[in-house]
Amino acid sequence: DWGGWLATRPMDELPHWRVIMRHERENGQRLHTTAQEHAEAILEMREILRERETVTNRDFKMSSRKRTDNYRGRKDSAVALYYLWRTGEVMTHSRANFERVYALTENVAPPELLYESDEATVDRFLIKKEIGFSGLSRLARSSDAFQRGLPFAQAQQIRDSMLAEDEIVEVQVEGWKFIHYALGSDVKLLNELSAGRVPKAWTPLETTTTDEVSFLAPLDPVSARGRAKILFDFDYIWEVYKPVDKRKFGYYTLPVLWGDQLVARFDSKLDRTTNTFVILGFWLENEALGADEAFANALARGFARSMRFLGTDKVEAAAIDQPLLRRTVVSLSKPGLGFST
Protein backbone atom coordinates (compact mmCIF):
# COMPACT_ATOMS: atom_id res chain seq x y z
CA ASP A 1 0.00 0.00 0.00
CA TRP A 2 2.02 2.94 -1.26
CA GLY A 3 1.95 5.83 -3.71
CA GLY A 4 0.17 9.01 -4.68
CA TRP A 5 -3.02 7.05 -5.38
CA LEU A 6 -4.44 4.00 -3.63
CA ALA A 7 -2.42 1.02 -4.85
CA THR A 8 -1.64 -2.31 -3.22
CA ARG A 9 1.71 -3.59 -4.46
CA PRO A 10 3.32 -7.05 -4.15
CA MET A 11 5.71 -7.13 -1.19
CA ASP A 12 8.50 -8.65 -3.28
CA GLU A 13 8.58 -5.41 -5.31
CA LEU A 14 9.62 -3.43 -2.23
CA PRO A 15 13.36 -3.20 -3.14
CA HIS A 16 12.36 -1.45 -6.39
CA TRP A 17 9.94 0.92 -4.68
CA ARG A 18 12.50 1.78 -2.00
CA VAL A 19 14.56 3.40 -4.75
CA ILE A 20 11.50 5.41 -5.82
CA MET A 21 10.82 6.39 -2.22
CA ARG A 22 14.36 7.71 -1.88
CA HIS A 23 14.07 9.68 -5.11
CA GLU A 24 10.82 11.22 -3.90
CA ARG A 25 12.48 12.16 -0.62
CA GLU A 26 15.49 13.70 -2.37
CA ASN A 27 13.84 15.24 -5.44
CA GLY A 28 10.15 15.71 -4.68
CA GLN A 29 9.51 19.41 -4.12
CA ARG A 30 6.33 18.94 -2.12
CA LEU A 31 7.91 16.39 0.19
CA HIS A 32 10.96 18.61 0.58
CA THR A 33 8.70 21.46 1.65
CA THR A 34 6.88 19.15 4.07
CA ALA A 35 10.18 18.07 5.60
CA GLN A 36 11.15 21.68 6.20
CA GLU A 37 7.81 22.94 7.50
CA HIS A 38 7.07 19.96 9.76
CA ALA A 39 10.53 18.84 10.86
CA GLU A 40 9.65 18.72 14.56
CA ALA A 41 6.45 16.74 14.00
CA ILE A 42 8.27 14.27 11.74
CA LEU A 43 10.92 13.70 14.42
CA GLU A 44 8.20 13.31 17.05
CA MET A 45 6.21 10.75 15.01
CA ARG A 46 9.39 8.81 14.30
CA GLU A 47 10.12 8.54 18.04
CA ILE A 48 6.53 7.64 18.90
CA LEU A 49 6.55 4.84 16.33
CA ARG A 50 9.67 3.40 17.94
CA GLU A 51 7.91 3.41 21.30
CA ARG A 52 4.40 2.25 20.36
CA GLU A 53 5.15 0.10 17.30
CA THR A 54 1.86 1.13 15.60
CA VAL A 55 -0.04 4.43 15.41
CA THR A 56 -2.95 5.93 13.50
CA ASN A 57 -3.80 9.51 12.73
CA ARG A 58 -6.71 9.29 15.19
CA ASP A 59 -4.28 8.67 18.05
CA PHE A 60 -3.55 12.40 18.09
CA LYS A 61 -6.34 14.77 19.12
CA MET A 62 -6.73 17.98 17.15
CA SER A 63 -6.67 19.99 20.38
CA SER A 64 -3.12 18.83 21.08
CA ARG A 65 -1.75 19.34 17.57
CA LYS A 66 -0.78 22.18 15.27
CA ARG A 67 -3.50 22.75 12.68
CA THR A 68 -2.36 22.63 9.05
CA ASP A 69 -3.87 23.57 5.71
CA ASN A 70 -2.65 20.52 3.83
CA TYR A 71 -4.32 18.16 1.38
CA ARG A 72 -2.86 15.22 3.33
CA GLY A 73 -4.21 16.19 6.74
CA ARG A 74 -5.45 18.93 9.03
CA LYS A 75 -2.98 18.13 11.80
CA ASP A 76 0.80 18.31 11.74
CA SER A 77 0.88 14.73 13.04
CA ALA A 78 -1.12 13.52 10.01
CA VAL A 79 1.18 15.32 7.57
CA ALA A 80 4.26 13.96 9.36
CA LEU A 81 2.97 10.38 9.25
CA TYR A 82 2.18 10.77 5.55
CA TYR A 83 5.70 12.05 4.92
CA LEU A 84 7.30 9.11 6.74
CA TRP A 85 5.05 6.69 4.85
CA ARG A 86 5.63 8.27 1.45
CA THR A 87 9.42 8.33 1.89
CA GLY A 88 9.58 4.73 3.07
CA GLU A 89 10.45 5.02 6.76
CA VAL A 90 7.08 3.57 7.71
CA MET A 91 4.61 1.25 5.99
CA THR A 92 0.95 0.41 6.28
CA HIS A 93 0.78 -2.21 9.02
CA SER A 94 -2.98 -2.77 8.62
CA ARG A 95 -6.23 -0.88 8.24
CA ALA A 96 -8.80 0.11 10.89
CA ASN A 97 -12.06 0.98 9.12
CA PHE A 98 -10.01 1.89 6.06
CA GLU A 99 -7.72 4.20 8.06
CA ARG A 100 -4.03 3.35 7.81
CA VAL A 101 -2.29 1.87 10.83
CA TYR A 102 1.38 2.85 10.51
CA ALA A 103 4.48 0.99 11.68
CA LEU A 104 8.20 1.31 11.03
CA THR A 105 9.15 -0.43 7.81
CA GLU A 106 11.44 -2.90 9.58
CA ASN A 107 8.46 -4.03 11.64
CA VAL A 108 6.34 -4.78 8.57
CA ALA A 109 8.54 -5.97 5.70
CA PRO A 110 10.65 -9.15 5.74
CA PRO A 111 14.30 -8.30 6.50
CA GLU A 112 15.49 -9.86 3.24
CA LEU A 113 13.57 -7.18 1.31
CA LEU A 114 15.00 -4.18 3.14
CA TYR A 115 17.45 -3.14 0.44
CA GLU A 116 17.40 -1.06 -2.74
CA SER A 117 17.55 -2.53 -6.21
CA ASP A 118 20.11 -1.07 -8.59
CA GLU A 119 18.99 1.90 -10.68
CA ALA A 120 19.12 0.08 -14.03
CA THR A 121 16.84 -2.68 -12.73
CA VAL A 122 14.38 -0.08 -11.46
CA ASP A 123 14.33 1.71 -14.83
CA ARG A 124 13.26 -1.48 -16.60
CA PHE A 125 10.84 -2.33 -13.80
CA LEU A 126 9.06 1.02 -14.16
CA ILE A 127 8.72 0.64 -17.92
CA LYS A 128 7.08 -2.75 -17.45
CA LYS A 129 4.87 -1.30 -14.72
CA GLU A 130 3.73 1.52 -16.97
CA ILE A 131 2.80 -0.94 -19.71
CA GLY A 132 1.22 -3.43 -17.32
CA PHE A 133 -0.95 -0.74 -15.75
CA SER A 134 -2.80 -0.02 -18.98
CA GLY A 135 -2.15 -3.16 -21.05
CA LEU A 136 -1.10 -1.07 -24.04
CA SER A 137 1.04 2.02 -23.56
CA ARG A 138 2.80 4.65 -25.65
CA LEU A 139 5.44 4.90 -22.88
CA ALA A 140 4.89 8.64 -22.73
CA ARG A 141 5.74 8.94 -19.01
CA SER A 142 8.78 6.70 -18.66
CA SER A 143 11.36 9.48 -18.57
CA ASP A 144 9.75 11.48 -15.75
CA ALA A 145 7.94 8.84 -13.72
CA PHE A 146 8.36 8.94 -9.94
CA GLN A 147 10.90 11.79 -9.84
CA ARG A 148 13.32 9.71 -11.88
CA GLY A 149 14.44 12.51 -14.21
CA LEU A 150 15.46 9.88 -16.75
CA PRO A 151 16.73 11.55 -19.95
CA PHE A 152 14.47 10.82 -22.91
CA ALA A 153 17.33 9.37 -24.96
CA GLN A 154 18.19 6.99 -22.12
CA ALA A 155 14.55 5.93 -21.78
CA GLN A 156 14.51 5.17 -25.52
CA GLN A 157 17.71 3.15 -25.19
CA ILE A 158 16.23 1.06 -22.38
CA ARG A 159 13.04 0.58 -24.38
CA ASP A 160 14.99 -0.63 -27.43
CA SER A 161 16.98 -3.04 -25.29
CA MET A 162 13.79 -4.47 -23.82
CA LEU A 163 12.32 -4.83 -27.32
CA ALA A 164 15.41 -6.73 -28.47
CA GLU A 165 15.10 -9.08 -25.49
CA ASP A 166 11.34 -9.58 -26.06
CA GLU A 167 10.49 -8.20 -22.63
CA ILE A 168 8.13 -5.85 -24.44
CA VAL A 169 6.69 -5.83 -27.97
CA GLU A 170 5.41 -3.20 -30.39
CA VAL A 171 1.69 -3.24 -31.18
CA GLN A 172 -0.08 -1.39 -33.98
CA VAL A 173 -3.79 -0.99 -33.25
CA GLU A 174 -6.10 -0.45 -36.20
CA GLY A 175 -7.32 3.13 -36.19
CA TRP A 176 -4.67 4.35 -33.73
CA LYS A 177 -1.98 6.67 -35.04
CA PHE A 178 0.86 5.81 -32.67
CA ILE A 179 2.75 2.62 -31.95
CA HIS A 180 1.91 1.15 -28.54
CA TYR A 181 3.80 -1.35 -26.41
CA ALA A 182 2.69 -4.50 -24.62
CA LEU A 183 4.44 -6.88 -22.27
CA GLY A 184 6.15 -9.80 -23.95
CA SER A 185 4.31 -12.10 -21.56
CA ASP A 186 1.01 -10.89 -23.07
CA VAL A 187 1.80 -11.91 -26.66
CA LYS A 188 -0.19 -15.16 -26.40
CA LEU A 189 -3.21 -13.21 -25.16
CA LEU A 190 -2.89 -10.75 -28.04
CA ASN A 191 -2.69 -13.60 -30.54
CA GLU A 192 -5.87 -15.12 -29.11
CA LEU A 193 -7.67 -11.80 -29.34
CA SER A 194 -6.43 -11.23 -32.90
CA ALA A 195 -7.92 -14.60 -33.81
CA GLY A 196 -11.28 -13.53 -32.39
CA ARG A 197 -11.09 -15.73 -29.31
CA VAL A 198 -11.40 -14.81 -25.63
CA PRO A 199 -8.31 -16.12 -23.80
CA LYS A 200 -9.01 -18.96 -21.35
CA ALA A 201 -7.20 -17.00 -18.65
CA TRP A 202 -9.99 -14.43 -18.84
CA THR A 203 -12.73 -16.90 -17.89
CA PRO A 204 -14.76 -15.26 -15.08
CA LEU A 205 -14.70 -16.88 -11.65
CA GLU A 206 -18.45 -16.38 -11.22
CA THR A 207 -20.71 -14.37 -13.50
CA THR A 208 -19.91 -12.52 -16.72
CA THR A 209 -20.39 -8.84 -17.54
CA THR A 210 -23.13 -9.95 -19.94
CA ASP A 211 -25.13 -11.61 -17.15
CA GLU A 212 -24.36 -8.91 -14.58
CA VAL A 213 -23.14 -5.39 -15.28
CA SER A 214 -20.02 -4.07 -13.58
CA PHE A 215 -19.67 -0.57 -12.20
CA LEU A 216 -16.25 0.95 -12.77
CA ALA A 217 -14.72 3.17 -10.11
CA PRO A 218 -13.99 6.76 -11.23
CA LEU A 219 -10.23 6.24 -11.23
CA ASP A 220 -10.31 2.75 -12.74
CA PRO A 221 -7.59 2.53 -15.43
CA VAL A 222 -10.18 1.20 -17.89
CA SER A 223 -12.18 4.40 -17.89
CA ALA A 224 -9.94 7.10 -16.43
CA ARG A 225 -7.20 9.22 -18.00
CA GLY A 226 -9.19 9.67 -21.22
CA ARG A 227 -9.12 5.95 -22.04
CA ALA A 228 -12.92 5.55 -21.98
CA LYS A 229 -13.18 7.73 -25.09
CA ILE A 230 -10.35 5.95 -26.88
CA LEU A 231 -11.42 2.39 -26.05
CA PHE A 232 -15.21 2.68 -25.75
CA ASP A 233 -16.16 5.99 -27.42
CA PHE A 234 -17.52 6.92 -23.99
CA ASP A 235 -16.94 10.46 -22.72
CA TYR A 236 -16.24 10.20 -19.02
CA ILE A 237 -15.01 12.84 -16.61
CA TRP A 238 -15.01 12.45 -12.85
CA GLU A 239 -16.97 15.49 -11.73
CA VAL A 240 -16.31 15.27 -7.99
CA TYR A 241 -14.13 18.39 -8.09
CA LYS A 242 -16.46 20.41 -10.31
CA PRO A 243 -18.82 23.02 -8.81
CA VAL A 244 -22.38 21.68 -8.65
CA ASP A 245 -23.62 24.03 -11.37
CA LYS A 246 -20.85 22.86 -13.70
CA ARG A 247 -21.61 19.14 -13.44
CA LYS A 248 -23.22 17.45 -16.41
CA PHE A 249 -24.12 14.26 -14.56
CA GLY A 250 -23.27 13.95 -10.87
CA TYR A 251 -20.84 14.05 -7.99
CA TYR A 252 -19.75 10.40 -8.11
CA THR A 253 -20.99 9.06 -11.43
CA LEU A 254 -19.89 5.51 -12.29
CA PRO A 255 -19.63 3.99 -15.80
CA VAL A 256 -21.69 0.84 -16.40
CA LEU A 257 -19.96 -2.01 -18.25
CA TRP A 258 -22.28 -4.48 -19.98
CA GLY A 259 -20.56 -7.16 -22.03
CA ASP A 260 -17.61 -5.35 -23.56
CA GLN A 261 -19.23 -1.92 -23.85
CA LEU A 262 -19.73 1.06 -21.55
CA VAL A 263 -23.47 1.57 -22.01
CA ALA A 264 -24.61 3.85 -19.18
CA ARG A 265 -23.65 5.80 -16.09
CA PHE A 266 -25.32 6.53 -12.77
CA ASP A 267 -24.90 8.66 -9.67
CA SER A 268 -25.95 7.35 -6.26
CA LYS A 269 -25.58 7.61 -2.51
CA LEU A 270 -26.37 5.60 0.61
CA ASP A 271 -28.86 7.46 2.79
CA ARG A 272 -27.54 6.40 6.18
CA THR A 273 -30.54 7.72 8.09
CA THR A 274 -32.85 5.22 6.36
CA ASN A 275 -30.20 2.77 5.11
CA THR A 276 -31.52 3.25 1.58
CA PHE A 277 -29.50 2.99 -1.63
CA VAL A 278 -30.59 6.08 -3.57
CA ILE A 279 -30.04 6.29 -7.32
CA LEU A 280 -29.69 10.02 -7.94
CA GLY A 281 -29.40 9.86 -11.71
CA PHE A 282 -29.20 7.27 -14.49
CA TRP A 283 -28.20 7.93 -18.11
CA LEU A 284 -28.10 5.52 -21.07
CA GLU A 285 -25.78 5.92 -24.03
CA ASN A 286 -28.40 4.28 -26.24
CA GLU A 287 -32.01 4.79 -25.18
CA ALA A 288 -33.03 1.54 -26.91
CA LEU A 289 -31.47 -0.36 -24.01
CA GLY A 290 -34.26 0.96 -21.82
CA ALA A 291 -36.55 -1.68 -23.35
CA ASP A 292 -33.98 -4.50 -23.39
CA GLU A 293 -34.97 -7.21 -20.89
CA ALA A 294 -31.53 -8.84 -20.87
CA PHE A 295 -29.92 -5.54 -19.97
CA ALA A 296 -32.58 -4.86 -17.34
CA ASN A 297 -31.78 -8.14 -15.60
CA ALA A 298 -28.02 -7.58 -15.85
CA LEU A 299 -28.39 -4.06 -14.46
CA ALA A 300 -30.55 -5.27 -11.57
CA ARG A 301 -27.99 -7.93 -10.70
CA GLY A 302 -25.28 -5.28 -10.58
CA PHE A 303 -27.30 -3.04 -8.30
CA ALA A 304 -28.24 -6.02 -6.10
CA ARG A 305 -24.56 -6.85 -5.60
CA SER A 306 -23.78 -3.25 -4.69
CA MET A 307 -26.62 -3.21 -2.18
CA ARG A 308 -25.42 -6.42 -0.53
CA PHE A 309 -21.99 -4.85 -0.22
CA LEU A 310 -23.54 -1.77 1.41
CA GLY A 311 -25.69 -3.90 3.72
CA THR A 312 -29.10 -2.69 2.55
CA ASP A 313 -32.12 -4.15 0.77
CA LYS A 314 -33.88 -0.81 0.23
CA VAL A 315 -33.53 1.12 -3.01
CA GLU A 316 -34.93 4.40 -4.31
CA ALA A 317 -34.91 4.14 -8.11
CA ALA A 318 -37.24 6.97 -9.17
CA ALA A 319 -34.35 8.59 -11.05
CA ILE A 320 -34.32 5.69 -13.54
CA ASP A 321 -36.66 7.05 -16.23
CA GLN A 322 -37.05 3.79 -18.16
CA PRO A 323 -40.03 1.84 -16.67
CA LEU A 324 -38.67 -1.63 -17.44
CA LEU A 325 -35.28 -0.89 -15.91
CA ARG A 326 -36.79 0.78 -12.85
CA ARG A 327 -39.28 -2.06 -12.18
CA THR A 328 -36.62 -4.73 -12.57
CA VAL A 329 -34.13 -2.99 -10.30
CA VAL A 330 -36.75 -2.46 -7.59
CA SER A 331 -38.21 -5.96 -7.77
CA LEU A 332 -34.85 -7.71 -7.59
CA SER A 333 -33.72 -5.64 -4.63
CA LYS A 334 -36.44 -7.08 -2.39
CA PRO A 335 -35.30 -9.69 0.19
CA GLY A 336 -35.47 -13.19 -1.22
CA LEU A 337 -36.08 -12.04 -4.79
CA GLY A 338 -32.60 -10.99 -5.83
CA PHE A 339 -30.32 -13.10 -8.00
CA SER A 340 -27.86 -15.30 -6.17
CA THR A 341 -24.25 -14.88 -7.21
| Whole-number pLDDT of residue 218 | 83
Exposure on the CB side of residue 25, measured as CA atoms within 13 A: 14
Q: What's the mean pLDDT in 181-200?
A: 94
Length in residues, the chain = 341
**Residue 106: what pLDDT?**
97
Distances in Å between the alpha carbon of 75 and those of 65, 128, 174, 293? Answer: 6, 37, 52, 52
Mean pLDDT of the chain: 91
pLDDT score at 335: 61
pLDDT of residue 340: 40
Cα(first)–Cα(last) distance of the chain, in Å? 29
Task: With beta carbons less than 8 A apart as the criterion, state whether 329 and 293 touch.
Answer: no
Q: How confident is the model at residue 222 (pLDDT cuts 50, 70, 90)?
A: confident
User: pLDDT exceeding 70 applies to what percent of the chain?
Assistant: 95
What does residue 248 show for φ and ψ, rounded to 5 degrees? -85, -35
Place 153 in a pLDDT band, splitting at 50, 70 and 90.
confident
Residues 6+ apart with CB under 8 A from 246: 239
Residue 278's φ and ψ, nearest 5 degrees, are -105, 120
User: Is the pLDDT confidence value at 287 over 90?
Assistant: yes
Residue 298's identity, in one-letter code, is A
Q: Which residues contact 209 (CB under 8 A, 6 or more apart)?
A: 257, 258, 259, 260, 298
CA distances from 55 to 78, 83, 115 (A): 11, 14, 24
**Average pLDDT rounded to a whole number, residues 133-160:** 79
Burial of 127 (0-12, 13-18, 19+ CB in 10 A): buried
Instruction: Convert the pLDDT of each residue in 75-133 to its tens digit.
Output: 999 999 999 999 999 999 999 888 999 999 999 999 999 999 999 999 999 999 989 98
Is the predicted pLDDT of residue 135 greater than 70, yes or no? yes
* pLDDT the model gives residue 145: 58
Q: Which of 200, 140, 204, 128 is nearest to 167 (CA)?
A: 128
DSSP one-letter string for 190-250: HHHHHTT---GGG--SS--TTTS-EE--TT-TTTTTTHHHHHHS------TTS-GGG-SS-
Asked if residue 147 has pLDDT above 60, the reply is no
Give the pLDDT mean for 315-334.
Answer: 94
pLDDT in tens, 161-175: 999 999 999 999 988
pLDDT of residue 282: 98
Q: What is the pLDDT of residues 269-284, one digit of tens each?
A: 999 999 999 999 999 9
